[in-house]
Amino acid sequence: MLTLPPATPTSSFAARMLDLCVRLQGTICDGLEALDGTAAFGRDAWERPGGGGGEARVIENGLVFEKGGVNVSAVHGMLPERMAGAFGVDAKPFFATGISSVIHPRNPHVPTVHFNFRYFALGDDLAAPEDQWFGGGADLTPYFPDLRDVVHFHQVWKTVCDRHRTVADYADYKAKCDRYFHLPHRNEARGVGGIFFDYLRDDPAAVFAFVEDAGHAVLDAYAPIVERTKSEPFSEREQAFQEIRRGRYAEFNLAYDRGTRFGLETNGRTESILMSLPPRAQWHYAWVPEAGSREAQATAFFQPHDWLGGDVPSAS
């Protein structure tokens, strides 16, 4: 269940962030349901044995969205030794809350989207934690990218960052996103990026304002793209390429994603942690796109580019 540790003041960033995540979950699920037009999000509340829990909201088999989830969690307890070592701190009480989402559309012309915004605190007193930080971001994974959609997505996030210049730098967060969502074993990006930030400790009030603004921008960044593409006809060949790219998505989430590791290390709920995986994917031995094909043109997008500076990908 979505609960705070006992005696947590409502003025704390822990309480304010949990409240924001709950509100965003409702708003974003409502917006996605309206885009789909047929399917609704189911609700599944869960408890973590060590403290706290969450609510998973999952949509499946919709007209537009084949599978997706918008999950909120708030967990607390003693930080496991292994995670404490990863953070470079001693094992001590922790609190973590956040909202995380992955949406897998049915139509290969509609991109997959991911976003998450999170807060982490260490210490017994959440009114004055020993340490606290924010992280998050959003990224887009198209299958047949359209430059108009990529530019729109990035422009929304640049606009949000520009409103919070003291704590948010679009160029820096874009570069961090490009580095993070990279598959080293494939030497390619998971998609076309977005923004990514972590360990924001300075001026928590200003950072919280940025995170709140970013959370409310999710639908602005994604909904117009869905509206434009959701009715486009598609072929079996295009769907097969979507599933090949979904395989890359699964590879990243299982091999590299920090959120997946954190959830598993802290005994989080497995179904919620692995909600990000697509319902169908393909792997083919030594697959490469045919030269000059639409698949080859799409693959050219999966490297870092200056999307807002006119850097247009071209297939080799």
Catalytic residues: 114
Pair of tokens at residue 106: 């049915």
Q: Pairing relation of β-strands 52-60 and 65-78?
A: antiparallel
The Cα 297–Cα 238 span in angstroms is 13
Burial of residue 257, with CB atoms counted within 10 A of its CB: 0-12 exposed, 13-18 middle, 19 or more buried: middle
CA distances from 262 to 95, 125, 217, 291 (A): 13, 22, 26, 40
Distance of CA 288 to the CA centre of its chain: 27
Q: What angle do CA 136, 141, 143 make, to 5 degrees?
A: 175
CA distances from 1 to 11, 44, 120, 138, 249 (A): 21, 10, 18, 25, 29
The Cα 208–Cα 41 span in angstroms is 27
The Cα 221–Cα 228 span in angstroms is 13
| Amino acid sitting at position 230 | K
